[in-house]
Amino acid sequence: MTTPSHPASAAAAGGINSLSDTDRTRNPNSESSTLQSYQHLFRPGFVHRRLYVDEQIFHDELRYLYGRTWLYIAHESELPQPNDFITRRVGGRPLIITRSAEGKIHALFNRCTHRAAIVCREPRGNAKGFICGYHAWTFNNEGHCTSVPLRQGYGKTFTLASTNLQHVARLDSYRGFIFASYSADVPSLSEHLGAAARLIDQWLDRGEKEPVVVRSGSMPFLVHANWKTIYDNAGDGYHPPFSHESMLKMFARRYGDVDMNYYGSDFDKSPMYSKNLGNGHTFLDQRPEMHKLSAWKRQHVMPGYEAMEKALIERFGETRALAMLDTATGSGMNLNIFPNLLIIGNQIQMPEPLAANKTQLTWFATTREGAPEEINAIRMRMQEDFPSFGEVDDSANFEACQEGMAYVPEMEWIDIRRHHDTEVGTPDPADHLWREPMSSDLHMRTYWQRWQELMNAGATQALKARGESS
Amino acid sequence: MSKKHATGTTQFDLGFYDRMAALLEKWKHLGEIPVDQIPSREVIDEITRLLYLEARLLDQHRLREWLALFSADGAYWIPADVDYRDPRHTIAWEFNDRRRMEERVERLETGQAYSQIPPTRTVHLLSNIEVMLAEDDTLHALCNFHIQTHRGHDTQSRCGWCGYVLRKENGHWKIMLKRVNLFDADLPQGNLSFTL
């Protein structure tokens, strides 16, 4: 496990912040079919294009990275009733996530123990069990095989229990966020989340603390880019005024000094910051600007802004209504939990790798259980605005990056140097976690360090297993 | 008084959402159009011409003229579900009031909206047009659409049906609502930053 620290202190471990001469002279563009270290794909402040475009590395990632760490798989509120289920691919693997009649959550590989067919082919529903469409092998929602047709054909020693659906190796949850690991050999979830858990608390415990509900639909974006091209952006505090200039310009022209206008000057001098939470997790904190006064009052308008504000003030009085609206406004937090949970504003994003150059980025909308209808309607219209006016431009930039990485082998390196050498980072006085200015590439350097740890350990283990079997 | 209130709108209050819920119920269960709700041939022709004009303006990127086809309380809606879910607690790809539609056009006009540089080329094809009389002197029009698109290296088809609510203002039909129902609205979507 990494401990949060200045990335330079990890130099001894090699990677982005250090490089031996042997690594420097090795040709990173050359393909290698044998298991190998990925060290030669990193230089201080730079990562190699192959990490984003190479099919072999993509397949290695599905095994060594997605197969060997905690992944966010669902939110408990997606399964409100006994026998509810959803199906979803996470880290490539098709899963059935169920709530049993007793209310317990299970995560099963959606793969028949017989001929590997996908057993449940519906996205969601309520069912006590699942019947495979091929030979009608039947399983209950806890994974137990309950029926195999013409069973005598498997002989006298056959037992149904030997053909149960396979559970994920580890399953745990933190305050409604369900995580799974496909390998048993991982630390506890709380160890994995580390400092990120406290920020999940802060995200959940805003305002009147009604439970967060993730049943309000989603926007699944299909992006023709590597999952890391997207992941890079989740902690890129440098791009907003440039990538989103059209949006910021339009809002400023129409409404003056509104949300995100603080990106108009040297925002590295602002109290916003980027932070290394350890284990590859990172945090961008825009709250010092966005929630400095009233986030609602400074929010650009959205459909229903005036009508809902008026209705809420009539019902609850101005002070309470405005406090409610402040916490319905985006959280000002970008909490990135490596490798597949991105909490942004009031949404939950899951990047799902589909191919080296293809990713599904799903934005799950959230409402608050028991909050006034006006608040939830406002939350919906507000959660539509950035995807519509901002994410579309981000996606266009991700695809432009991917094209450049894929088709110009003469230019090998991707620059993640920002604030690496400026020596302006400091430990946070409150928790001693490492902080850098908002525009830093600290996020990228942090998760790439974790990427290398997982991938090198996975490759080493696979090599060892191969040696033992030969 | 801040600018935001000067351009304010009374739309998208709870009453508006109630009307949307009633509209969705009606469209979801619509069978044969009752004879007494079928408008005159002349009105059907007027509506058909309006829909074809809208398609042509969109294909030519004439978004200011497109905006002018909407009423002052007009709305543009692209759900992200195919189940007629209540928009009070369901996210949409777009659910714009008139003001947000203007913001959309203004953003594209900055020349820095990178998802539309270069712009998506489109051809809108409309079919299965049905028009019916509705409450308060409004009309409903339904049609199927096929939008052939090209951007970057990518040629794609977008399909579905549109539901319109229309009202006559000063002798001209205006669009009060355009609901664009992609048949795959709940599935992964590529670049949706053009105007559907």
Q: Write the pLDDT tens digit of every residue in A362-372.
A: 999 999 999 99
Q: Identify whether the C-beta of residue B190 lies closer than 8 Å to the C-beta of residue B87.
A: no
User: Mean of the per-residue pLDDT values for chain A?
Assistant: 92
pLDDT band at A466 (very low <50, low <70, confident <90, very high): confident
User: What are chain A's domains?
Assistant: 71-173 (2.102.10.10), 195-449 (3.90.380.10)
Q: Are B91 and A217 inside 8 Å of each other by CB? A: yes
CATH of the domain at B106: 3.10.450.50
ipTM of the prediction? 0.95
pLDDT, tens only, A236-286? 999 999 999 999 999 999 998 887 888 878 899 999 999 999 999 999 999
Neighbours of A260 (CB within 10 A): 22
For residue A470, what pLDDT is reported? 60
**B77 belongs to a structural domain:** yes
Question: Total domain count for chain B?
Answer: 1
Q: Which among B90, B103, B192 has the least Cβ separation from residue A250? A: B103
Q: Percent of chain B, pLDDT > 70?
A: 95
Q: How far is A246 from chain B (nearest CA, A)?
A: 5
**Does any domain span residue B100?**
yes
User: For A201-220, what is each residue's pLDDT tens digit?
Assistant: 999 999 999 999 999 999 99
The answer to whether residue B4 is domain-embedded is no
pLDDT band at A27 (very low <50, low <70, confident <90, very high): low
Least confident of A174-178, A292-296, B115-119: A292-296
Q: Which of A194-203, A262-271, B71-80, B98-107 has the lowest mean pLDDT?
A: A262-271
Between the alpha carbon of residue A262 and those of residues A233, A238, A435, the distances in Å are 19, 13, 20
Per-residue model confidence as pLDDT tens digits over A75-133: 999 999 999 999 999 999 999 999 999 999 999 999 999 999 999 999 999 999 999 99
Partners of residue A367 in chain B, C-beta under 8 Å = 89
Tell me which of A86, A250, A389 to substitute to probe the interface with B (most B C-beta atoms closer than 10 Å).
A250
- Any residues with CB less than 8 A from the CB of B64 and at least 6 apart, and which? B105
Round to whole Å and give the CA distance between A111 and A92.
Answer: 13
Answer yes or no: is pLDDT of A30 > 90. Answer: no
Which residue among A255, A308, A374 sits closest to B4, beta carbon to beta carbon? Answer: A255
Q: What is the pLDDT of residue A18?
A: 40
Asked if A393 is an interface residue toward chain B (Cβ–Cβ < 8 A), one would say yes
pLDDT, position A160: 97
Distance CA A204, CA A202 (A): 5
- Give B16 to chain A, closest Cα distance, Å: 10
Q: Which residues of B touch A362 (CB under 8 A)?
A: 188
Residue A3's pLDDT band (cuts 50, 70, 90): very low
Name all contacts of B148-156 with Cβ < 8 Å and 24+ positions apart.
Answer: B148/B122, B148/B123, B149/B120, B149/B121, B149/B122, B149/B194, B150/B120, B150/B121, B151/B118, B151/B119, B151/B120, B151/B121, B151/B191, B151/B194, B152/A399, B152/B118, B152/B191, B154/A224, B154/B190, B154/B191, B156/B190
Q: Which domain holds residue B154?
A: 37-182
For chain B, what's the residue count?
A: 196
CA distance A122 to chain B (A): 13
Kindly state whether residue B190 falls inside one of the protein's structural domains: no
Give the C-alpha separation, A102 to A81, whole Å: 10
Report the share of chain A in percent with pLDDT over 90. Answer: 85
